[in-house]
Amino acid sequence: MSFERRPKILVTGPTGYVGGRLLRALAERGHDLRAVARRPDGVPAARGLDVEVVQGDLLEPSSLAAVVQGVHTAYYLVHSMGSGGDYSRLDRQAAASFRDAAEEAGVRRIVYLGGLGDSRSDLSPHLRSRQETGHLLRAGTVQVIELRASIVIGSGSLSFEMIRALSERLPVMVTPRWVSTMAQPIAVEDLLRYLTLCVDLDVEGNPIYEIGGPDRVSYLDLMREYSRQRGLKRYTISIPFLSPRLSSLWLGLVTPLYARVGRALIESIRNPTLVRDTAALEVFDVAPMGVGEAIARALTNEDREVAETRWSDAVSASGSPRSWTGVRFGNRLIDHRQATVHAPASRAFEPIVGIGGARGWYFATWLWTLRGWLDLLLGGVGMRRGRRDPDNLRAGDVLDFWRVEEVVPHRLLRLRAEMKVPGRAWLQWEVAAESDDRAVVHQTAIFDPAGVAGLAYWYLIYPLHLLVFRGMLARIVRRAGLPA
């Protein structure tokens, strides 16, 4: 099968974990990209990329004709597990609508990411729905390449966030029967490589490839490996009669999952998800990494920055809130606020880069000073270091009890906390220019708590965060020349 040199590629599900990262991977390969979402302004992964983002709803067939027009290869990465109700029916409806629209528009290839699981066994509703979706897509005339994967390991993935949250927050874990079910995890980097190679793959028919890493492990094995790499001592107590419903409610309390998604996930975990057909290793130029390396890379990525895209992005993309506080992203707690400044981005950045030192922190500086004295009493550096230059900052500079981790003129300032705190903390500002005289300031506080003490610290000072962070952003906007 011959292909155009730069085919138009469509990515559905760009607000999801895999879809968001796939956009960037395809963009790096120079492909002509289009992404479809219910809200085109709610696709964070497309920012800064040369991607055409269009409005469309796979459950509204009339909206799809323009979406698939001129498309050569379409990635189908959507499912309705988080929607509640009869998500299997919604999955079938969406797949049939997309298949018909793609066929009518002359799309040459659909690449679908499904789930592993022996179809001859009693599959969970979620895994059965994933495989039914592939069957419906193949019922048309467009070629379909289906990749079936198990657990995806990467910072921000649904399964990894659950594993990490359980391991970090529970010194003693109550483990139901499902933690012993075998799976064959794949690192997100390897999954993306398989997906991107599908564009130019020279195959006939509608092949199904089962993909996974070299290790066959259980969720309990993954939690033990994560704990080992993090230096955590964890103990388990087996309670085999814990039902999926009770397990999902429990997960909702101690992990980023909400109960609806947690239950669907746990019901899926009762099915082994192992690679039985190894043809993918011969067809694709991919040598998947093992579980240990995959977890190590996920931790490294998470340590460098909050993950590029997360499974929860698909939930939050339905709206565009100006602020969200106390939100859990994996093990991290986030306080994000934004405000519009009717001034150039360079002007909006001036009060940000000038913060701290003799100028103070613009709002409730006495609270910052008190925190500095408490830090000194605890053996920390306090606020006495000030700053090197009143107007300029560079990476590595000290700034009171912070250190400048990164600074990009007129765009970004990220500080890393050096005060005594049960965990790690960052304070970051980003300025996004909307026009020559209008910009949006994003202010984000990020906290990576160390165990129960870290969680207690965050929530005890949470009321002060609400006061201080709101007031600080308002004063930054005012200093840029306009009222908040």
Q: Looking at 271, 298, 315, which one is the last position of a domain?
A: 315
Q: Rounded to an integer, what distance in angstroms lies between the CA atom of residue 78 and that of residue 137?
A: 12
Give residue 310's pLDDT: 44
Residue 3 belongs to some domain of the structure: no
Co-location of 220 and 362 in the same domain:
no
- Whether 236 and 132 map to the same domain: the answer is yes
Express as a percent the part of the chain with pLDDT over 70.
Answer: 83
**What integer pLDDT is reported at residue 260 of this predicted model?**
45
| Closest CA relative to residue 184, chosen from 264, 258, 277 | 277
Residue-level pLDDT at 81: 54
In a domain, 1, yes or no: no
**435-456 burial: b if 16+ Cβ within 10 Å, else e:** eeeebbbbbbbbbbbeeeebbe
Q: Could you read off the pLDDT of 398-437 as tens digits, one per residue?
A: 999 999 988 999 989 999 999 998 888 899 999 988 888 8
177-198 pLDDT tens trace: 777 889 999 999 999 999 999 9
Residues 278 and 372 in one domain: no
pLDDT at 320: 42
Residues 383 and 258 in one domain: no
CATH of the domain at 441: 3.30.530.20
Measured distance CA(151)–CA(160) in Å, rounded = 8
What percentage of residues in the chain have a pLDDT greater than 90? 44
Q: Assess contact for 214 and 288: CB atoms under 8 A.
A: yes
Assess if residue 484 is contained within a domain: no
Helices marked H in 147-305 — which ranges? 158-169, 188-197, 219-230, 244-254, 259-269, 279-283, 291-304
Residues 55 and 125 in one domain: yes
Distance of alpha carbon 395 from alpha carbon 27, whole angstroms: 29
**pTM score above 0.95:** no
**Considering the domain boundaries, does residue 56 fall inside one?**
yes
* 31/100 same-domain check: yes
- 149 and 260 co-located in one domain: yes
Q: Pick from 296, 315, 334: which residue ends a domain?
A: 315
Residues 150 and 238 occupy one common structural domain: yes
pLDDT confidence of residue 225: 94
pLDDT tens for 377-393 read 888 888 888 898 989 99
What is the pLDDT at residue 326? 55
**pLDDT attached to residue 2:** 42
Model pLDDT for residues 262-308, shown as the tens digit of each residue: 555 666 677 889 999 999 999 999 999 999 999 999 888 765 555 34
**Cβ atoms of residues 415 and 394 within 8 Å:** no
Residue 415 lies in a domain: yes
SS3 content of the chain, % helix, strand, coil (to 5): 40, 25, 35
CATH number for the domain spanning 20: value is 3.40.50.720
- Mention every residue, 6+ apart, whose C-beta is less than 8 A from residue 322: 337, 338, 339
Tokens standing for residue 76: 């189908």
**Mean pLDDT value across residues 353-377:** 91
Residue 255 clears pLDDT 90, i.e. is over it? no
The secondary structure of 450-476 as a DSSP string is: -HHHHHHHHHHSHHHHHHHHHHHHHHH
**333 shares a domain with 241:** no
Return the pLDDT at 319: 40
Q: What is the pLDDT of residue 259?
A: 40
Over residues 41-52, the mean pLDDT reads 78
* 302 lies in some domain: yes
For the chain, how many structural domains are there in total?
2
- Helix and strand element counts for the chain (H, E): 16, 20
More confident residue, 126 or 470: 470
Whether residue 169 is predicted with pLDDT greater than 50 in this model: the reply is: yes
Same domain flag for 199 and 338 = no
Q: What's the pLDDT at 73?
A: 96
pLDDT at 171: 77
Range of the domain at 472: 321-479
**Average of per-residue pLDDT across 233-257:** 62
Are residues 213 and 300 located together in one domain of the fold? yes
Please provide the average confidence, as pLDDT, over all residues in the chain: 83
| Inter-residue contact 378 to 332 (CB < 8 Å) | no
Mean pLDDT over 327-350 rounds to 82
Higher pLDDT, 160 or 481: 160
116 lies in a domain? yes
Does 128 fall in a domain?
Answer: yes
Phi and psi at residue 129, in whole multiples of 5°? -65, -40
Question: Both 469 and 366 in a single domain?
Answer: yes
Q: Which of 97-106, 166-175, 226-235 has the highest mean pLDDT?
A: 97-106
3 state DSSP class of 380: coil
> Which residue from 242, 177, 191, 271 is spatially nearest to 17, judged by alpha carbons?
191
Q: Given a cut of 50, is residue 4 above it in pLDDT?
A: no
Nearest to 269 by CA among 134, 115, 406: 115
Q: Could you give the maximum distance between any two Cα atoms of the chain, in Å?
A: 72
Which of 280, 295, 315 is at the close of a domain?
A: 315
